[in-house]
Structure 1
Amino acid sequence: MKVFDAPPRIEETGTSVKATVYVETSVLSYLTARPSNDLRAMANQGATAEWWEIQRPNYHVVVSDLVLSEAGRGHSGAARRRLAAIADLPLLRISEDVRVLAKALIENHALPEKAEADAYHIAMTAVNGVEYLLTWNCTHIANAHARPKIEATCRALGLEPPIICTPLQLMEP
């Protein structure tokens, strides 16, 4: 994995410009999981696979050391598949600024204390100027009720919050 401190908000490649997308662990879980019989999970798996195969080349995709750690947990076969999917992606590191924002997100009740890892995912994107946070975690991260507090907390610290969305929401027409 490549390691860098702060990716550019956009990546210029010739005449086109690529936005940066941080892929959170839930996306990898849907991408690499065995096919589900649950209709919602099946739909999420399909949308994730479509985004990964068709849309991903349109973006500069990054993950973090936290994603790497989370992806490596659980069933060894599943962990191997998740880690293989991100093996060539640039890796963001947790910094003191990330820790400060994650703590502020919890203290300002944007996320509950039990969602500390989720606060770190959000902080990682805001501190590093990443445009999009791609997630299927709609309980704490891609949550319409939490979004105003997430955005206010980021901006209070002088940071632009990421656009938080699911793979389904980041499909180009």
Structure 2
Amino acid sequence: MDTVYIETSIMSHATAKPSSHPATAVLQEQAKRWWDEQSPRYEVVTSQFVIDEASRGDLVAVSRRLALLKDLPVLSANPDAESVADHLLARSLMPPTARLDALHVASAALAGVQYLLTQNCTHIANAHVLPRVYRLLDELGLSGLLICTPVEFLGGPKDVT
């Protein structure tokens, strides 16, 4: 069974109260659909970075996020994650302010998971930098990770007429 690393944006969108902003509402629906329809098909894991990030903010929202995370296996901390993240930042694949995003990529790659699921297309699933991220991971002997969004698993609208 393939393994999917769940990044914080997935938990945030899947558990948030419905947004009135159309683009955000679409992301929320995609995250919820992925969780309901796709997560049973995979071994879903997370990291302490996600738990820490999901634990910040409004207490009601924190409670919902942590409830969704509570039964997921947490990847063991890997001492090499900092080094891999440093490489991502040093090559300007992510800005210094996105160190946590780099740590998500590093943790997933080092754990050998097949997919990193995210809706963070600014720093993680960014088509402009993904080829270079994959090239760097390959150079580091960490090839095999696919960074993707829920819609890539879902294929399209649920009810196509």
Q: What TM-score do the two structures reach when normalised by structure 2?
A: 0.93
Shift, 1:160, TM fit? 1.0
Alignment partner of 1:105 is 2:94: no
Shift, 1:122, TM fit? 0.3
Partner of 1:71: 54
Alignment partner of 1:47 is 2:30: yes
Partner of 2:159: none
CA–CA separation in structure 2 for the residues paired with 1:115 and 1:102: 10
Deviation per CA, 1:24-83, whole angstroms, max 9, x where unpaired?
000000000001111111111111111101111001000000000000000011001000
State the secondary structure of the residue aligned to 2:44.
strand
Give the aligned residue type for 1:156: E
Shift, 1:172, TM fit? 6.3
State the secondary structure of the residue aligned to 1:96.
coil
Partner of 2:150: 167
Alignment of 1:11-160 (within 5 A): 18-160=1-143
Q: Do the aligned partners of residues 161 and 143 (structure 1) sit closer, same or farther apart at CA in structure 2, a change above 3 Å counting?
A: farther
CA–CA separation in structure 2 for the residues paired with 1:111 and 1:162: 17
- The answer to whether the 8 A contact 1:115-1:140 is kept is yes
- The answer to whether the 8 A contact 1:109-1:149 is kept is no
CA–CA separation in structure 1 for the residues paired with 2:94 and 2:155: 29
CA–CA separation in structure 2 for the residues paired with 1:58 and 1:172: 15
Question: Alignment length, in residue pairs?
Answer: 156
- The answer to whether the 8 A contact 1:135-1:167 is kept is yes
State the secondary structure of the residue aligned to 2:125.
coil
Shift, 1:23, TM fit? 0.4
Q: What TM-score do the two structures reach when normalised by structure 1?
A: 0.87
Q: Do the aligned partners of residues 61 and 130 (structure 1) sit closer, same or farther apart at CA in structure 2, a change above 3 Å counting?
A: same
Give the aligned residue type for 1:136: Q
4+ long deviations beyond 3 Å: none
Partner of 1:7: none
Let me know the Cα RMSD of the aligned residues: 1.2
Identity %: 43
State the secondary structure of the residue aligned to 1:91.
coil
Shift, 1:147, TM fit? 0.5
